[in-house]
Structure 1
Amino acid sequence: MLEGNGTELRLSEFGFERRFDERGAIEWMQANWSKSFLFSAIYATLVFGGRHYMKHRPKMNLRRPLVLWSLSLALFSIIGAMRTGSYMVHVLSGSGFRQSICDQSFYNGPVSKFWAYAFVLSKAPELGDTVFVVLRKQKLLFLHWYHHITVLLYSWYSYKDMVAGGGWFMTMNYGVHALMYSYYAARAAGLRVPRPLAALITGAQIGQMVMGLAVSGLVYRWMRHGDCPSHLDNCAWAALMYLSYLLLFSNFFYQTYLRPKTTKAE
């Protein structure tokens, strides 16, 4: 049961969610969040070192490991989206839109507290996505590795302060990743996925960035009233991050799905 703005929200919860020590998790992140820079540096070194290593070597197939990897992340994201999504619906219906943005209970609520911590921690193992890109000698987009690094850094940086807006950020990301990794798993398994579905997933990512910018702006506007806890630097980094993603994903969408294909002159 959650109390918020005089409204009681009754949610069913699993035992592990109820027993999760969010205070210990937040204290650990406050003491160790800067390790995300170390992980990012190791990641970048391995990615570009790996590309150099694979330059004159044959690409690997890795179809079965990729199916298992993508499927595991898809299942994790689907469950995370259902749990944080149900909590978001309760906050919206019981306390309204503003409270859904400014409420810190996503970090310590009975249902969402475990999934909030799981979300930020998952950004480290998700770096493993790039292993398959490098070893299979696929094109490594700037969008790919830039997105992985910046999401890791911002997620760990924000969780330690339990900043406003986090509930929306994690719920949207879980939802989009549920679609994205399901698509990756299907492709890796050799299933034919309609092109419009792939475009729809990229469109959902663009929508996530638009909403992320909107939430960041509202947090900045409302935090000056004292009921939307955040910091100016966090709002600035969030806005810059989401704006850069919006531009990069929009460009990817255009280049992949809208740009007219040019034919080579004979």
Structure 2
Amino acid sequence: MVFWKSSARAAAAAAAVVEEAVVLPPLPPENSLQRLLWKAHYPLDAYGASNVADLRDLPYPPFPTWTADAHSRWHAAPYRSLNTLHPFLPLAFALGYYVAAKLANVYIVRRGGGRDWTRGSRLLRGAIILHNAALTVYSAWTFVNVAPAALTFLYAGWSGAGWEGLKLSACSIPTNYPHLARFVYFFYLSKYYEVIDSVILVLKGKEIGQLQSYHHAGALICMWIAYRYQSQNVWVFTAWNSGVHTLMYMYYVFAAMRWPFPRALKRSLTTLQMLQIASGTIVTNISLFLTLFPALVLKRATHSAALKQLDPLWSAQFPSPMSLAKERMVQCRGGAAGGACQCIESRGAALALHVNTAYMLPLLLLFLNFFIQSYLHGGKSKTRSAGTASSVSGSPSKRKALANGHAKANSNGNGNGNGNGHGNGNGQAHSKVA
């Protein structure tokens, strides 16, 4: 109780400092229905509007560009002509892909007897290597541009106003600012291209597993809804996923080139993928329980020497914690008087968080099942096979038979197993999912 009273007094004191600089809209009358609706709604939603109206009417984010000239040339194409953020495109594409994957398993892979169309084709093998190499470079490019920027933004809030500043920064990651927006938007578009992974599997005569088809369809929808509604947490998925993808596609380049890759590292990749899902889900859902006090941030940031040193770094790419605090005070209608804000800014952002969580939990279970089948059950069967092989190494005739059998197995199994399973690095034993 003492803490909340002191917080309220500090917030009231901060209001006196900024009352001339921040013009706040009037609050609805106390104990009125409008006041109750105001307390229950998200800052960017309209008073009294329905859930559907809020989701429908929330403005689309501006098209991210590097220059104003590029903005004037390209703004219309991706948003109005191609409608890349209209819900029909990601939902229809995801459903169409999922159905096509199941049909391909039945009518192409099974009826075709698992024929490997890439065997003996230098063109297809080269295309597979190029595909994996391109996604490796792209994922690394995304990671090095998103993760450091987001972490620096969080540090600016912490150094400027302590814990309250960190909360404000975490709840206000400016996805719609050009620097982050362009990388997040392109990462969303890359989810359409990543279904090529499944096409390569079919060309290799391998079925598209439930883990891969669920992953590709769900990731597309999750990235769309997070960017469309400007969820503050979209940077977490982008940074986490692009970092794991960098390592994963690098492994698939090794596999496509048939270079040796330690089994322990393959197992570590799968573990890293599961950690990505679990940690990302936990980190993003913390925002549901955070409460902001922007007036406290403004008071502390005003007197922060660290903030003054950091401000020039942010003038070109990001707003400072002070400007974020003022913006949130306006959104909260009374934040300068000590009022609290929700971390989530709109119903759309909340929906994006819930959709991502609902997608991640089954994905984690699918990964756990994959890990058990591939590395626990699979590892035991390989151990038993090795023991059987060593037991016939006594007589020359048995050694000769084993050598012939091994040569044949290497010819068919390794050429087909490595070619099918790891030519693109996404065979049955190690599906491309992350």
TM class by shorter chain equals 0.7 to 0.9
Letter in structure 2 aligned against 1:261: K
Q: What residue number does 1:74 align with?
A: 136
In structure 2, the CA distance between the partners of 1:100 and 1:172, relative to structure 1 (3 Å rule), is farther
> Offset of 1:229 from its aligned partner?
2.2
Is 1:168 matched up with 2:236? yes
The count of residues paired between Structure 1 and Structure 2 equals 249
> Offset of 1:30 from its aligned partner?
7.8
Q: What residue number does 1:205 align with?
A: 273
In structure 2, the CA distance between the partners of 1:54 and 1:138, relative to structure 1 (3 Å rule), is closer
Distance in 2 (alpha carbons) for counterparts of 1:180 and 1:124: 18
Distance in 2 (alpha carbons) for counterparts of 1:138 and 1:93: 46
Secondary structure of 2:341's counterpart equals coil
Q: What residue number does 1:124 align with?
A: 192
> Offset of 1:118 from its aligned partner?
0.5
In structure 2, the CA distance between the partners of 1:31 and 1:75, relative to structure 1 (3 Å rule), is closer
Greater displacement, 45-54 / 60-69: 45-54
Indicate if the aligned counterparts of 1:80 and 1:174 stay in contact, CA closer than 8 A: yes
User: Which structure: larger Rg?
Assistant: 2
Distance in 1 (alpha carbons) for counterparts of 2:127 and 2:170: 38
Letter in structure 2 aligned against 1:53: I
Letter in structure 2 aligned against 1:229: E
In structure 2, the CA distance between the partners of 1:67 and 1:93, relative to structure 1 (3 Å rule), is same
Q: What residue number does 2:336 align with?
A: none
Question: How many percent of aligned residue pairs carry the same amino acid?
Answer: 24
Is 1:53 matched up with 2:108? yes
> Offset of 1:40 from its aligned partner?
1.6
Letter in structure 2 aligned against 1:225: C
Q: What residue number does 1:150 align with?
A: 218
> Offset of 1:104 from its aligned partner?
3.5
Distance in 2 (alpha carbons) for counterparts of 1:193 and 1:251: 23
Indicate if the aligned counterparts of 2:109 and 2:206 stay in contact, CA closer than 8 A: no
Secondary structure of 2:229's counterpart equals coil
1:198-239 CA-to-partner distances (Å, cap 9, x unmatched) read 112111111111122112321222379323325343332222
Greater displacement, 193-202 / 46-55: 46-55
Q: What residue number does 2:309 align with?
A: none
Is 1:258 matched up with 2:376? yes
In structure 2, the CA distance between the partners of 1:158 and 1:64, relative to structure 1 (3 Å rule), is same
Indicate if the aligned counterparts of 2:229 and 2:352 stay in contact, CA closer than 8 A: no
Unaligned runs of 5+ in 2: 1-64, 119-123, 159-165, 292-339, 389-434
Distance in 2 (alpha carbons) for counterparts of 1:99 and 1:69: 40
Distance in 2 (alpha carbons) for counterparts of 1:177 and 1:17: 25
Distance in 2 (alpha carbons) for counterparts of 1:191 and 1:75: 19
Distance in 1 (alpha carbons) for counterparts of 2:75 and 2:370: 40
RMSD: 2.7
Unaligned runs of 5+ in 1: 1-15
Superposition pairs of residues 218-237 of structure 1, within 5 angstroms? 218-222=286-290, 225-231=341-347, 232-237=350-355
Letter in structure 2 aligned against 1:241: Y
Q: What residue number does 2:364 align with?
A: 246
Distance in 1 (alpha carbons) for counterparts of 2:362 and 2:67: 37
Superposition pairs of residues 15-164 of structure 1, within 5 angstroms? 17=66, 21=71, 24=75, 32-51=86-105, 52-57=107-112, 58-61=115-118, 62-96=124-158, 98-99=167-168, 101-108=170-177, 110-164=178-232
Indicate if the aligned counterparts of 1:216 and 1:238 stay in contact, CA closer than 8 A: no
1:78-136 CA-to-partner distances (Å, cap 9, x unmatched) read 1101110221221132124534542231332x432211111111111111110011111
Distance in 2 (alpha carbons) for counterparts of 1:142 and 1:241: 14
1:130-171 CA-to-partner distances (Å, cap 9, x unmatched) read 001111112422110100000101111121110121111111
